[in-house]
Amino acid sequence: MSSETSQRTTERGRIRVTGFDVDRVESRDPLSSWEPDLQSEEGRGRLEYAWKRFRRNHLALFGAATIGFMILLAVFSRPIQLPSSFPVLAGQTVQPFSLAPADPANQDVITGYREPTLENVLTWPPTGLYLFGADWAGRDILSRVMYGGRWSLSIGFIAVAMALLVGIPLGSVAGYYGGKVDELIMRIVDMLYAFPFIVLAIAVIAVLGRGYWEMILALVVVGWLPYARIIRGEILSVKENEYVTAAKALGSRDRSIIVRHILPNAMAPVIVQATLSIGTTVLVAAALGFIGLGLSPASAEWGVMLNVEQDAIARGRWWAGLFPGLAIFVFVMAINLVGDGVRDAFDPQGDQTDSDTGGLR
Amino acid sequence: MSLQRFVLKRGLITIPLLLGISLLTFGMVHAIPGDPIDFITLFTDLDPQTEMEIRAEYGLDQPVYIQYIDWVTSAATGDFGRSIITRDPVIDEIMTRLPYTLVMGIMAFGVTLVTAIPTGVIAAYYRNTKIDQASRVFALLGIAIPNFLLGLLLLLIFASWLDLFPILPPTDQGILSYDMLVYTLLPAITIGTGSTALLMRLMRSSMVEELDKDYVRTARAKGLPERTVVQKHVLRNSLISVVTVAAIQVAFIISGSVVVEIVFSYPGIGRLLVNRVGNRDFPVIQAIVLLIGVAVILANFVADVLYAYLDPRIRY
């Protein structure tokens, strides 16, 4: 248990310099507060220290706030009504707020719907309450960008969460047991790594077809690879520690050794990679939407919004594409700031300037 | 270990990898629920006689492992069968578009090298100054901007507003014509921006590491001009680690080209792939996916060999 950091503490990395106040040293020393606790002390202490460092990183906090704001906008853009087949609260409106100025599907918010021609298409620039202008069908772009976050953002978070659920167990098994299992899993990882992220995703979509869950599955097939690799490498270095040998000698089962003793100490690089991956995943999902292999053209997913307007943008209706594009850009930027902050928080000694290569490969 | 032995050893590793990706691309078609023949005939009803003939033509009456061996051996000679949509040989469809993608990729690579290395060197030399900060901000922007948005904005500014480029590529003139090469600059810059951002930061950190080494102090102490120190000593050593990253750029440029070719209606491989995924033209999709996989594996091989050649410590 780490205690409160006093005002007089000067911190340099992990070395703390304080006055010789015996009581305070005693209360801070992890050994003196040792209890027979089943939770891993080491893992929790590290998380706490990381959180403290993260809180001081203003840029990362700004990124986190931006992401929070975008999620709130997406959730509160339109009321959410549960489907009538839902087990609890069927047909009830669980989210009554509606921040979006117009219905994202409504076609005559500004001028009334007209068939878009080269002449009248230029007459829907941003005006008044409809800050971002209207798209080719006369729908309010601001409302669609807000509402579209529900697709773009949920794809990013769900796909990364599922990729973690696949990558961590496979990587743990490969690293812990070694031998043939390790060979098999890592050769599969090597093979899949031969294809660039988006090409592999396109191949999976070619097989599965288009759609929301199909796209998430495609992103998971590509997305689990880095976690398997990272966790395997970490486990290889962690499993030689004495405490693992001790746990084995005491007769712990393999599963509890992995979950309780090894994983907590191997998680830091996985958390960093996962954070950055959310940005990459949203970017690739939008790119798939843009090339017409993502969600249906009717949805307000940000990449799809750019896809249906691409000719119009090149011909001068910049607002139709700029705002959905900016939404992707701002989100990815914010995620990268948070990811850099998380990395610096876990590894304050590391060269901070290496951190801006993003989650790309 | 001699360089020859290293090349041999590293080359042997690529063989199972190549076999693996060929199995994956072949297995793709068999992972689709339903009978592959439905995708060849586009779900039309056939009399049994014609169906047998088509099955025989595509080898679908053979056991799967024989189908795989047939497919892989003819693929090795460049025969990927015929496209389901156009009925043209797949290899012809690919070969007419490959030059466009290659030229665009090479230009993108050139853009990356020409901009990333000097800016990375400058950022490292003036580290922790305003110049370094600016390069860091640029890197963050370059990585976060979606390449399709950047491409559309370039089209809007340079083709629509400034009228310096046509909106559609002048494909009728052939890839090596002046107009086409000039047009290709736009997609090349679009792809190059993302990889410039990455490479610039890598160049900077590898350069910063070298600048702190003892031999730099020695070189300065013996009175060499600063220019010689940086160009002859530091730059050469820090370029070594950048070479390996350049191989990763190949994968980066390939994935970039898939999206950017759509933005610019560019008649390359990536656009062919995307169009045929919509039509489920599997012979073409398989051929392109396999080619991309092979290209990336070979690029990694070349990079490893180059690295071993430049830095003999790697071989052991």
Contact residues, chain A, for B201 at CB < 8 Å: 353-354, 356-357
Contact residues, chain B, for A303 at CB < 8 Å: 146, 148
- The pLDDT value given to residue A67: 93
- The pLDDT value given to residue A112: 47
Only one residue has tokens 């669980």, namely: A94
Nearest alpha-carbon partner for B256 in B120, B95, B111, B92: B111
Hey, of B14, B85, B132, B148, which one would you mutate to test binding to chain A, going by the most A CBs within 10 A of its CB? B148
Residues 6+ apart with CB under 8 A from A116: A136, A137, A312
Pick B159's closest partner by Cβ from A314, A325, A353.
Answer: A314
Is the Cβ of B144 closer than 8 Å to some Cβ of chain A? yes
pLDDT > 50? residue B304: yes
pLDDT > 60? residue A128: no
The alpha-carbon gap from B258 to the nearest alpha carbon of chain A, in Å, equals 8
Task: Tell me which DSSP letter residue A130 carries.
Answer: B
Residues in chain B: 316
- The pLDDT value given to residue A27: 56
Is the Cβ of A338 closer than 8 Å to some Cβ of chain B? no
Q: pLDDT confidence of A353, banded at 50, 70, 90?
A: very low
Residue of A nearest to B281 (CA): A206
Structure tokens given for B121: 């060197």
Range of lowest pLDDT (A9-23, A181-195, B118-132): A9-23
Q: A196 and B285: CB-CB below 8 Å? A: no
Count the neighbouring beta carbons within 10 Å of the beta carbon of residue A178: 14
Which tens digits make up the pLDDT trace of B214-269? 888 888 888 888 888 887 778 877 887 777 777 778 888 888 888 999 988 888 89
Q: Choose between A346 and A201: higher pLDDT.
A: A201
Nearest alpha-carbon partner for A153 in A27, A303, A258, A16: A303
Which tens digits make up the pLDDT trace of A315-338? 667 777 788 888 999 999 999 889
pLDDT > 90? residue A157: yes
Residues 6+ apart with CB under 8 A from B103: B175, B176, B181, B184
Q: pLDDT confidence of B1, banded at 50, 70, 90?
A: low
Contact indicator for B314, B9 with CB cutoff of 8 Å: no
pLDDT > 50? residue B109: yes
Pick B255's closest partner by Cβ from A192, A194, A199.
Answer: A199
**How far is Cα B147 from Cα A325, in angstroms, rounded to an integer?**
10
**How far is Cα B243 from Cα B238, in angstroms, rounded to an integer?**
9
pLDDT > 50? residue A149: yes
Range of lowest pLDDT (A57-66, A251-260, B122-131): A251-260
Hey, of A193, A198, A291, which one would you mutate to test binding to chain B, going by the most B CBs within 10 A of its CB? A291
Is the Cβ of B16 closer than 8 Å to some Cβ of chain A? yes
Which tens digits make up the pLDDT trace of A272-294? 889 989 999 999 999 999 988 88
- The pLDDT value given to residue A360: 36
Contact residues, chain A, for B265 at CB < 8 Å: none
Is the Cβ of B137 closer than 8 Å to some Cβ of chain A? no
Number of A:B CB contacts under 8 A? Answer: 154
Whole-number CA gyration radius for chain A: 25
Q: pLDDT confidence of A351, banded at 50, 70, 90?
A: very low
- The pLDDT value given to residue A125: 55
- The pLDDT value given to residue A26: 52
Is the Cβ of A198 closer than 8 Å to some Cβ of chain B? yes
Q: A283 and B208: CB-CB below 8 Å? A: no
Q: B149 and A357: CB-CB below 8 Å? A: no
Contact indicator for A304, A290 with CB cutoff of 8 Å: yes
Structure tokens given for A126: 């941003």
- The pLDDT value given to residue A37: 47
- The pLDDT value given to residue A341: 87
Residue of A nearest to B22 (CA): A191
pLDDT > 50? residue A32: no
For A240, phi then psi, to 5°, come to -85, -5
Contact indicator for A144, A305 with CB cutoff of 8 Å: yes
Q: B144 and A353: CB-CB below 8 Å? A: no
Q: pLDDT confidence of A126, banded at 50, 70, 90?
A: low
Residues B198-221, mean pLDDT to the nearest whole number: 84
**How far is Cα B99 from Cα B276, in angstroms, rounded to an integer?**
19
Only one residue has tokens 């690799």, namely: A229
Contact residues, chain B, for A354 at CB < 8 Å: 201, 205
Is the Cβ of A352 closer than 8 Å to some Cβ of chain B? no
Structure tokens given for B242: 């950048």
- The pLDDT value given to residue A265: 77
Q: Percent of chain B scored above 70 by pLDDT?
A: 95
pLDDT > 80? residue A21: no
- Helix/strand/coil (H/E/C) assignment for every residue in A65-110: HHHHHHHHHHHHCCCEECCCCCCCCCCCEEECCCCCCCCCCCCCCC
Residues B264-288, mean pLDDT to the nearest whole number: 88
Q: Percent of chain A scored above 90 by pLDDT?
A: 20
**Could you tell me whether strands A15-17 and A10-12 are parallel, antiparallel, or unpaired per DSSP bridges?**
antiparallel
pLDDT > 50? residue B151: yes
Residues B154-170, mean pLDDT to the nearest whole number: 81
Residue of B nearest to A276 (CA): B144
Residue of B nearest to A359 (CA): B143
Hey, of A278, A360, A361, which one would you mutate to test binding to chain B, going by the most B CBs within 10 A of its CB? A360
Contact residues, chain B, for A326 at CB < 8 Å: 149
Q: Choose between A260 and B106: higher pLDDT.
A: B106
End-to-end CA distance of chain B: 6
- The pLDDT value given to residue A358: 36
Is the Cβ of B12 closer than 8 Å to some Cβ of chain A? no
End-to-end CA distance of chain A: 38
Hey, of B276, B277, B281, which one would you mutate to test binding to chain A, going by the most A CBs within 10 A of its CB? B277
pLDDT > 80? residue B129: yes
Q: pLDDT confidence of B188, banded at 50, 70, 90?
A: very high
> Three-state SS for A80?
strand
Query: Average pLDDT over chain B, rounded to whole?
Result: 83
Contact indicator for A156, A278 with CB cutoff of 8 Å: yes
pLDDT > 80? residue A301: yes
Out of A114-123, A254-263, B87-96, give the one with best mean pLDDT: B87-96
Q: A196 and B251: CB-CB below 8 Å? A: yes
pLDDT > 60? residue A39: no
**How far is Cα B193 from Cα B196, in angstroms, rounded to an integer?**
5
Q: A306 and B152: CB-CB below 8 Å? A: yes
- The pLDDT value given to residue A161: 95
Residue of A nearest to B197 (CA): A357
Contact indicator for A257, A248 with CB cutoff of 8 Å: yes
pLDDT > 90? residue B181: no
The alpha-carbon gap from B263 to the nearest alpha carbon of chain A, in Å, equals 7
- The pLDDT value given to residue B300: 85
Q: pLDDT confidence of A106, banded at 50, 70, 90?
A: low
- The pLDDT value given to residue A15: 55
- The pLDDT value given to residue A14: 55
Contact residues, chain A, for B24 at CB < 8 Å: 191-192
- The pLDDT value given to residue A101: 67
Is the Cβ of A292 closer than 8 Å to some Cβ of chain B? yes
Where does residue B162 rank: exposed (0-12), middle (13-18), buried (19+ CB within 10 A)?
exposed
Q: A310 and B152: CB-CB below 8 Å? A: yes
- The pLDDT value given to residue A148: 85
**How far is Cα B188 from Cα B257, in angstroms, rounded to an integer?**
9
pLDDT > 50? residue B101: yes
Hey, of A195, A221, A276, A319, which one would you mutate to test binding to chain B, going by the most B CBs within 10 A of its CB? A195
Structure tokens given for A257: 């050794």
Q: Choose between B60 and A359: higher pLDDT.
A: B60
Q: pLDDT confidence of A220, banded at 50, 70, 90?
A: very high
pLDDT > 90? residue A297: no
Q: pLDDT confidence of A352, banded at 50, 70, 90?
A: very low
Pick B198's closest partner by Cβ from A199, A332, A360.
Answer: A360
